[in-house]
Amino acid sequence: MSRGPSGTAPRVGILGGTFDPVHNAHLVMAEGAVARLGLERIYFLVSNAPPHKIGRPLTPAWHRFAMVALAAAGRPEWIPCTLELEVAGPSYTIDALRRFCGHSGYPPEAVLFLAGGDSLRDFHHWKDADTLLQEFRFLFVQRPGVDPGPEAAALVAAGRIADGRDRPDDELRGLLDRPAVSLLADLGTPDISSTMIRHMVESRQDCAGLVPAPVLGYIQKLGLYGGQ
């Protein structure tokens, strides 16, 4: 594994999720994190059994991983990661990040977990949320039309999260040099969700421009989400 100056590990991003399916907002988030924060790699960590979706129908994990692999093809800095697919039961973020660091060799301070702004709004419900912010750093990406909420404002006021939504790139990178600080930033992600894509496919609406073309071809070829 490559190392940065003075033997320190380079910063890498983890974009975790169900990816049912992966869409262009995910890719804009990954592109923005690399370009604006100087991350060396983005690992797409495909969840097998997300705790907040237990009991809901999910597309089989191998299809979701295949779509991520198609979306990441041709981008050497984007790495589809199978680590969570090997977890049989519900996988919580704190356990997934600890597994990733143990498996990859990256220390926690070198890892930045990418999550949508709606995740920040609900972050206080996550397992061991306070410990998560102590052990790992997060990049919460502003989602169009989503108010991060009062809990997010309290974390910003307490200095646990730095509000970088109106800051230039050099200031955003400078914030990452501070230990134990997570970020809230606006990376210009479009207003797209996996739920929207599934509904559009089911109702035979055109999804071109919302999901990568190879992913849309995969969905259509296999008739996922009730499409043809």
CATH number of the domain where residue 47 is located: 3.40.50.620
Q: What is the pLDDT of residue 2?
A: 38
pLDDT band of residue 144 (cuts 50, 70, 90) is: confident
Q: What is the pLDDT of residue 138?
A: 94
CA distance 98 to 134: 13
CA distance 26 to 161: 22
CA distance 201 to 227: 5
pLDDT band of residue 7 (cuts 50, 70, 90) is: very low
Within-domain flag for 5: no
Structural domains counted in the chain: 1
| Average pLDDT over every residue of 211-227 | 94
Q: What is the pLDDT of residue 3?
A: 37
Within-domain flag for 70: yes
Q: Both tokens of residue 157? A: 């006021």
Per-residue pLDDT reduced to its tens digit, 148-193: 788 888 888 888 899 998 899 999 888 887 777 899 999 999 999 9
6 pLDDT above the threshold of 60 = no
| Average pLDDT over every residue of 192-196 | 94
CA distance 59 to 143: 24
Average pLDDT, the chain: 88
CA distance 176 to 180: 9
Within-domain flag for 32: yes
Q: What is the pLDDT of residue 1?
A: 37
Query: Around Cβ 63, how many Cβ atoms within 10 Å?
Result: 17
Within-domain flag for 94: yes
Name the percent of the chain lying above pLDDT 70.
93
Q: Residue 184: phi, psi to the nearest 5?
A: -115, 120
**Region class of 105: left (phi > 0), else alpha (psi between -120 and 50), else beta:** left
Within-domain flag for 1: no
Half-sphere exposure of 6 (CA within 13 A, CB side): 1
184 strand-pairing partners: 140, 163
4 pLDDT above the threshold of 50 = no
Q: What is the pLDDT of residue 122?
A: 86
CA distance 167 to 155: 18
CA distance 140 to 186: 9
Q: Are strands 161-163 and 182-185 parallel, antiparallel or unpaired?
A: parallel
pLDDT band of residue 55 (cuts 50, 70, 90) is: low
CA distance 184 to 119: 11
Within-domain flag for 3: no
Range of the domain at 164: 11-226
Within-domain flag for 158: yes
